[in-house]
């Protein structure tokens, strides 16, 4: 099994790349989806968030309102770090359980772990390979303004809360430049998939392309 850590910056197109690789056969584990699960009402992470940030971050259905919570934590690095400390242990535990199950049941699988904060959270050594989806910061801002209806200041503030995407380049085993036509990205992903399959087979000790 090959565990590929997929990362990038906000609005870089990670979801698009993940969807393309899933269509080719990758098993995608999305950290944001796991976070939603562990933050469900009544779960320990949910209780911790409410205890620290108050019931003002809840919606009418008692679920975490991510827009309300985001408005708090993305304006304050200390509060963002606190949120990560509250949520990440539960997310990591669920991720590791899924990885272990796939490793046992599908030893030749290509697993795509979609981890937005892979570098920041110090998880580089817990994946086999790092794939970075990259676009220039100015394009991130433009996409955020267009996608979310944010002002330039709002988009810039969200970028400022993250590690600059260019700093992640040195951590990546492969970079997908995603600021061109979608078909260009698709061709790159297709070529990458062939390499990932070979690596997964070799790692499982069953590389059928070998002698």
In the chain, where are the structural domains located?
A: 2-203
Q: Quick one: pLDDT at residue 207?
A: 41
Per-residue pLDDT of the chain (211 residues; tens, 9 = 90+): 999 999 999 999 999 999 999 999 999 999 999 999 999 999 999 999 999 999 999 999 999 999 899 889 988 889 999 999 999 999 999 999 999 999 999 999 999 999 988 998 899 999 999 999 999 999 999 999 999 999 999 899 889 888 999 999 999 999 999 999 999 999 999 999 999 999 999 999 754 444 4
pLDDT of residue 186: 96
Distance of alpha carbon 152 from alpha carbon 19, whole angstroms: 28
Q: What is the pLDDT of residue 40?
A: 96
What pTM value is reported for the model?
Answer: 0.86
pLDDT at 100: 95
Give the pLDDT of residue 161: 83
Helix or strand holding residue 2 (H, E): strand 2-8
DSSP state of 205: T
Torsion of Cα atoms, 177 then 181 then 187 then 191, to 10°: 0
- Per CATH, domain 2-203 is 3.30.465.10: no
Instruction: Give the orientation angle of helix 44-53 with respect to helix 66-73, to 10 degrees.
Output: 50
- Give the residue ranges of DSSP H helices in the chain: 14-24, 31-38, 44-53, 66-73, 77-105, 137-148, 152-160, 182-203
Could you give the CA distance from residue 176 to residue 126 in angstroms, rounded to a whole number?
21
Radius of gyration of the chain (CA): 18
């Amino acid at each position: 099994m090959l565990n590929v850590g997929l990362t990038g910056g906000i609005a870089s197109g990670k979801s698009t790349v993940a969807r393309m690789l899933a269509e080719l056969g990758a098993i995608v584990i999305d950290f944001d989806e796991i976070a939603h699960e562990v933050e469900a009402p009544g779960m320990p992470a949910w209780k911790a968030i409410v205890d620290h940030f108050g019931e003002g971050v809840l919606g009418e259905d008692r679920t975490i309102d991510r827009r309300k919570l985001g408005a708090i934590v993305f304006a304050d690095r200390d509060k963002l770090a606190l949120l990560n400390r509250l949520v990440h242990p539960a997310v990591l535990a669920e991720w590791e359980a899924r990885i272990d199950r796939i490793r046992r049941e599908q030893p030749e699988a290509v697993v795509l772990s979609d981890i937005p904060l892979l570098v920041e959270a110090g998880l580089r050594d817990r994946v086999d390979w790092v794939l970075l989806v990259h676009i220039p910061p100015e394009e991130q801002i433009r996409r955020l303004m267009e996608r979310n209806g944010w002002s330039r200041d709002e988009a810039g503030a969200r970028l400022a809360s993250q590690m600059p995407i260019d700093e992640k380049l040195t951590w990546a085993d492969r970079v997908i430049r995603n600021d061109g036509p979608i078909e260009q990205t698709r061709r790159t992903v297709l070529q990458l998939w062939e390499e990932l399959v070979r690596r997964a087979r070799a790692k499982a000790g069953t590389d059928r392309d070998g002698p």
